[in-house]
Structure 1
Amino acid sequence: MAEEESLELEVSDEPKSKKKLILFGSIAAVLIVIIAATLWLLLSGDETAAENSGGEAVAEVKASDKREAFYAAMPRPFLFNLPGNGRTRLVEIKVQLMVRGKDDDVLIKKHIPLIEDALLTTFSGADVQKLSTLAGKDELRLLALLNVQNTLQPIIGRKVVEKVLFTGFVMQ
């Protein structure tokens, strides 16, 4: 009789382990499907949203991305003083502008004095505390890009500069 009880216990454990295996397998399958669906929506949703919103602007960006990138270096670095924390800091920034296509490169070189003025105005209004951090430098770079684009927009009629790049940055 003791042997029968032990056999019955062993037989009854097998269906529970099979049920656990099926349960864990189904949970794993559901998680894989959810992860795959989420990745598919995230990766395909960006293209669809970009195509649906601002059709002409997106088409212009896609057309400009196909052209070769040119980098127009400013002829001299920007040197300026910034007051902060009881002492004045000397800052030197070397800048290059990224444009698309040879025609835009020629346009940028034609308007270098105007671009230098816009950049110097932007840089001299910076804060020493912000320039000490990477986020502050990124914010200054974005502000410089917007200022250059807004300065050139009335003259050229479109946004020519795609990026402002800091190729040298020294603060003493």
Structure 2
Amino acid sequence: MAEDKDDKDAEQTEEQAGGKKKKLILFGIIGIVLIITVVLVLWLFGGSSSQEQQASSGSGSPAPSSSPRPEIGNALYVGMPRAFVFIVPGDSRERTVQIKAQLMVRGEENEELAKMHIPLIEGTLHEVFSSSTADRLKTAEGKGQLRELALAEVRSALEEVTGNPVVEQVLFTSLVMQ
């Protein structure tokens, strides 16, 4: 009987080892698929825009831009390390709001400046966001106005410190209101 019990224990440990190997192989395959997906997405969407292709293949001068200032470098995104959580007054009660934001900058120099001044940017954005109301945040127009105000305030704060507005856009990647 003791031998039967030892045999059963040995079989169970072999089955567990086989199960662990299967899990390891499955995770490896999933990891490879994810890496291939990321590479394909970057390859497909990382190409130059048609306007850039026209400028480089066509005439010697770059195509005219519709923006008031010239583009310097590629668009880069600087994510805020934490979501902004604050309370705003509402129609019948106060509401809690959470906003996740990213900054669009042009060129690596502006990216480094933005990363260096994240505490200043976070403080400025928190002041702007918490001055809003629930009624304003319910509409797309109100959210757009809040983004524009946030951009103006962040640019102003960064220009005081760096002499350069640095940020081109403030983007909301998530906005939740309860």
Counterpart position of 1:167: 173
The unaligned stretches of length 5 or more in structure 2 are 1-63
Aligned mate of 2:70, from 46, 51, 62: 62
Structure with higher Rg: it is 1
Match of 1:54 in 2: none
Superposition TM-score, scaled by structure 2 size:
0.61
| 1:89 corresponds to | 95
Q: 2:19 matched to which residue of 1?
A: none
| Correspondence 1:142 to 2:148 | yes
Asked whether the equivalents of residues 89 and 95 of structure 2 are also in contact (C-alpha less than 8 Å), the reply is yes
- The alignment of Structure 1 onto Structure 2 pairs a total of residues equal to 115
Q: In the alignment, which residue of structure 1 is the partner of 2:162?
A: 156
Structure with a larger share of its residues in helix: 1
Which amino acid is the alignment partner of residue 156 of structure 1? T
User: How high is the sequence identity, in percent, across the aligned residues?
Assistant: 46
Q: Which amino acid in structure 2 is aligned with residue 124 of structure 1? A: S
Give the Cα–Cα distance (whole angstroms) in 2 for the partners of residues 137 and 76 of structure 1.
19
Unaligned runs of 5+ in 1: 1-46, 51-56
Q: Look up the SS of the partner of 2:99 in the other structure.
A: strand
2:123 to 114, 117, 121: 117
Deviant stretches of 4+, over 3 Å = none
Equivalent residue number for residue 43 of structure 1: none
Q: Aligned equivalents of 1:127 and 1:96: distance in 2?
A: 21
C-alpha displacement at 1:136, in angstroms? 0.2
After TM superposition, the structure 1 = structure 2 runs for residues 28-43 of structure 1, keeping only pairs within 5 Å, are none
